[in-house]
Structure 1
Amino acid sequence: MNSSPRTAYIIQIHKNPDQVNKFIKQLISEEQADVFVHIDKRNYQNLKEGIVKSPFVKVLQQCGICEWGDISQVESTIRLLREVVASKGEYDFVCLRSGQDLLVKDGFKDFLINNKGKIFMTLGSVGRFNSGLMEISWPKFMRKRYASFHPARFFRSIVLALYRKGINIFPNPYKLPNGYSLYKGSQWFTMPYDAAQYIVQFLDENEWFYKYFEHSLVPDQWFFHTLIMNSQYKTAVMDNNLLFLKWGETLSSQNSPQDLTSEDIQLIVKSNEYFARKFDENIDSTVINYFAEKVKFECPKLANKDEKLYVRL
């Protein structure tokens, strides 16, 4: 592989194709990256033609519905990983991002050059009560996101309270093997290509792993962390996913990243992270345009400055 790392960006989107295109153009502007896009099935027909056309961009034809707190989030990431591996591209890294992300700092290519072989994902502590999210086989309606009071949220709290007293009314029939430990963190990651290959091969050879998480709550925050941290790649993990988030402060928003606005620009810059989310052009397009213009790679100089060059490395 050459000294300039090539990255496969895998992006999950569900809206705002114009905004997504600004992010994609940031990623492919120096021709050292390809972008693989998974569109939520509910919006696939409306969005697929709106994604920028480029030899460096592939929109997956096979897609699924992505729901908060559900295994469908994991399924979308697996589809993207399989697509990357099947492409047989000579990649150094695979980077999972959302369509509501943006690059907010220059120098990511150099950062990857200096950190080959490392995995960037966050890791959080896991206690017994916390692991109940995995040991309980949650009914479908209880795995949905409810921003305000809903009977399902009340029922969910009862199920957890009973679990903490030693009563599991919806036990997960699948168990992790002896010696396996649970790990959790934010779903977004950057990892070496060989680690992504390992994930695909492991899942093909170990169907029980997917089954264990299939009816758990928010498995996207556990699935890949547990897989990687119980593998030979454990020592390569850096507890950082290179992403700035601003968390809510109210009861209904404290577990959700908040929409970023122009008022957050200095906060984003001071974070010194390479990526930030979540942006929404319907909330504030000014902050999106600011970073889309400020953080972008310069293409090689051409004889005709108006000409665009697309050369696959």
Structure 2
Amino acid sequence: MEFVLDYDVKTCDKKLNNLKKKNNIKVAFLILAHKNPSQIVDFINALDCEQTAFFIHIDKKSNIIDDSCLNQIKDKKNVIFTQKRERITWGGYGDVAATLLLLEEALERDEFDYISLHSGQDLPISNKYEILEFLKQNQGREFIKFFSHKIQGWWPPKPMDRINYYWFIEELGLEKSWKIYEMQKKAKDKRKFLKDIKPFAGWQWWTITKECGEYIIDYVDKNESYCDFYKYTLLPDEGFFQTIILNSYLKHRVVNDNLRYTEGKSGEMHPHILTKKCFNKIINSNKLFARKFDINVDKEIIEMILNRIM
């Protein structure tokens, strides 16, 4: 499978040349879900094999955990639902907390080489064995999209405001928290970022090594103030993990590509729902996964992709 990535080959290869390559690798797929249970089943069936396992967190507000559709995967030994469930509020810390739950669960269960974070509306767009082979050939690299908070065309118009001011999304919701944010701006009452740490931003979804996952959990356990800071930021899931990784020794292993195909316009708050009109762009994207899909919007595109990769 051809795959072109935007990274410094010499730098990465120098850092990775001492890593022992394995004949077979194991991958843990972490899934954050709240709707459309049949799509969770499709994702798992497309990737299910001896080398993969699936860890699923269902939003505490959602009742899909009781949907009969999930019965066909609940008895699988390599499918684990988290017992603890976080209440997810868009823009709040819940996504970070749920991701940490999944990460800890995966690290405690087995010796995985890679850990890949997904929403319940993702699909693989390559065959599972092609995905495993790609990760095998790129062992030791961390695939996570990152950029500066000063990026243009992000939301809100001044992206640094995500971390420069207090946001109380979990407590008050976005609308009320926005009003408090406006008051802080008017008063020029900015927060100070964490000492000796450079903030980064990026997309929520990533594919990282076990070593990187262990580093994240260890860092969080030892730096409670870091979590406390991000609990009162806007959309912390789009920066929390990038900032940890890119301020660590692992930064030289990061490939600035999260292997996912998405569509959306600059400044928009959500990616577009992919439809059958997107099919050719998806399959020619040179990515491993795509999002986001919605069976209630376009079922045909899901069937087209599954027929192609299975």
In the superposition, the TM-score normalised over structure 1's length comes to: 0.82
Q: Deviations over 1:212-252 (max 9, x none)?
A: 10110010001000010111111111110000111047x7x
1:17 positional shift: 1.0
Alignment deviations for residues 254-278 of structure 1 (CA, whole Å, 9 cap, x no partner): 2310111111101111211110000
Letter of the aligned partner of 1:267 in structure 2? Answer: K
Asked if residue 34 in structure 1 is aligned to residue 53 in structure 2, the reply is: yes
2-side partners of 1:135 and 1:16: how far apart?
A: 36
The one-letter code of the counterpart of 2:42 is K
- SS of structure 1 residue aligned to 2:284: helix
Q: CA RMSD for the aligned pairs?
A: 2.4
Paired residue secondary structure (1:188): strand
Q: CA distance change for structure 1 residues 158 and 142 in 2, over 3 Å: closer, same or farther?
A: farther
Q: Residue by residue, what CA displacement relative to the aligned partner does 1:11-58 show, whole Å, maximum 9, x if unpaired?
A: 000011111100011121x32110000000111464465321311111
Task: Give distance in 2, aligned partners of 1:23 and 1:16.
Answer: 11
98 and 228 in structure 1: CA distance in 2 versus 1, 3 angstrom threshold: same
Q: Quick check: 1:279 aligned with 2:297?
A: no
Checking the alignment, whether the CA contact within 8 Å between 1:104 and 1:273 is kept in structure 2 is yes
Whole-angstrom distance in 1 between the partners of 2:31 and 2:297:
21
1:73-112, aligned counterparts within 5 Å?
A: 73-87=95-109, 89-106=110-127, 107-112=130-135
Which AA in structure 2 matches 1:124? F
Partner of 1:305: none
Alpha-carbon spacing, 1:294–1:257, altered in 2? closer, same or farther (3 Å) = same
Q: Kindly tell me: are residues 157 and 138 of structure 1, through their superposed partners in 2, closer, same or farther at Cα, counting changes over 3 Å?
A: closer
For residues 190 and 196 of structure 1, the distance between their equivalents in structure 2, rounded to whole angstroms, comes to 10
Name the counterpart of 2:182: 158
Amino acid paired to 1:20: I
Q: Structure 1 pair 142/56, CA: closer, same or farther in 2 (3 Å)?
A: closer
State the one-letter code of the partner of 2:216: I
- Report SS of the residue matched to 1:282: coil
Does the 8 Å CA contact 1:70/1:143 hold for their aligned counterparts?
no
SS of structure 2 residue aligned to 1:42: coil
- Where 1:203 maps in the other structure, the secondary structure is helix
SS at match of 1:123: strand
- In 2, distance between residues paired with 1:153 and 1:200? 29
What is aligned with 1:265? 279
Q: Where in structure 2 are the equivalents of 1:68-147 lying within 5 Å?
A: 68-87=90-109, 89-106=110-127, 107-127=130-150, 129-140=158-169, 144=173
Amino acid at match of 1:34: A
Deviation at 1:175, TM superposition (A): 4.0
Q: Which runs of 5+ in 1 are unaligned?
A: 146-150, 297-313
Return the offset for 1:140.
2.9
1:1-313 matched pairs, under 5 angstroms: 2-28=22-48, 30-44=49-63, 46-47=65-66, 50-51=69-70, 52-53=73-74, 54-87=76-109, 89-106=110-127, 107-127=130-150, 129-140=158-169, 144=173, 152=176, 155=179, 158-159=182-183, 162=186, 167-168=188-189, 171-172=190-191, 175-177=193-195, 179-248=196-265, 254-296=268-310
Distance in 2, matches of 1:152 and 1:284, equals: 34
Distance (Å, rounded) in 1 between the aligned partners of 2:28 and 2:52: 6
Aligned to 2:17: none
**Identity %, equivalent residues:** 29
In the alignment, what sits opposite 1:300?
A: none
Number of residue pairs matched by the alignment: 279
C-alpha separation in 1, matches of 2:296 and 2:64: 20
Distance in 2 (alpha carbons) for counterparts of 1:285 and 1:160: 45
- Equivalent residue letter for 1:100: Q
| 1:162, distance to aligned residue in structure 2 (A) | 3.5
Structure 2 unmatched runs, 5+: 1-20, 152-157
CA contact (8 A) 1:93 1:192 kept: yes
The secondary structure found in structure 1 opposite 2:182 is: helix
Q: Distance in 1 between matches of 2:173 and 2:285?
A: 31
Deviation digits for residues 137-157 of structure 1, max 9, x if unmatched? 113379846xxxxx6597377
